[in-house]
Structure 1
Amino acid sequence: MHQQSNRQLQERLTSLSIADVLARAARFFTRRSGVYATFIEKQGPSHLVLRGQGGEELVIAARVTDAGTSVSGSTYMFDQQLARFLDSLPTAPAVSVATPDAAAVAALPHGVS
């Protein structure tokens, strides 16, 4: 049996919703055949637990952040397949940080910045 510390944790940001990420993950991993076949063991609104050969567990979770949907996956045996899945997701748009322009700063009362 594998210990949690031996698992691979991978993460990506995507522009997809949590529901879309989980639906894509279910399609991606349950349509495989042979040694990389999995079935859905548990599913919740923000996570998916799949089980594969030898009882190997693959967990995918997603949460909304200011930068997009953060998707993480944890597994031991399916690390390459997990990386392929995460790479297939559309990336989240770059987040720009607003900086005050010089005129707005100059218009502030003295001593305020």
Structure 2
Amino acid sequence: MPTDAKPHLQHDRTMQRARTPMTPDAALAAATQFCARRNSVYVAFLEQEGPGYATFRGQGGEEILVAARVVDGATEVTGSSYMFDQQVARFLSSLPALPEGGA
């Protein structure tokens, strides 16, 4: 491996986004509920939380990061995970959509 190679760079992982009329706090609470209620293979537990973000730890130590912030009058929710991308996509698709013509 070249000496300048940097394995496991976080920025190379998939970042998924959704926009919702929910508040950032409500979106993060929804993420906590979603991760806790999955079947045992995909369950993830809240590890850290702070203003605008929450991290979860899943099977095998897999990290899931969810962040939420207001952008142009709507809440933008982002999610990232190396192995749980499908679960992140399912969570984001479960959020209420913006109304037609919304922000």
Instruction: Identify the TM-score tier after normalising by the shorter chain.
Output: 0.7 to 0.9
Distance 2:42 2:98 in 1: 28
Is the Cα contact below 8 Å between 1:69 and 1:92 reproduced in 2? no
Q: CA deviation at 1:78?
A: 0.9
Question: Which of the pair has more CA radius of gyration?
Answer: 1
**Share of identical aligned residues, percent?**
49
Q: Which residue is equivalent to 2:33? A: 27
Deviation for aligned residue 1:90: 1.0
Equivalent position of 1:82 in the other structure:
88
Q: CA RMSD in A?
A: 1.8
**Is there any run of 5+ residues in structure 2 with no aligned partner, and where?**
1-6
Q: Which runs of 4+ in 1 moved over 3 A?
A: none
Instruction: Report matched runs for 1:24-103 at 5 Å.
Output: 24-93=30-99, 94-95=101-102
Helix, strand or coil: the match of 2:29?
A: helix
For 1:27-68, what per-residue CA distance to the aligned partner results, in whole angstroms no more than 9, with x for missing partners?
000122322111111011210100011111000000001141
TM-score by length of 1: 0.77
Alignment-derived partner of residue 3 in structure 2: none
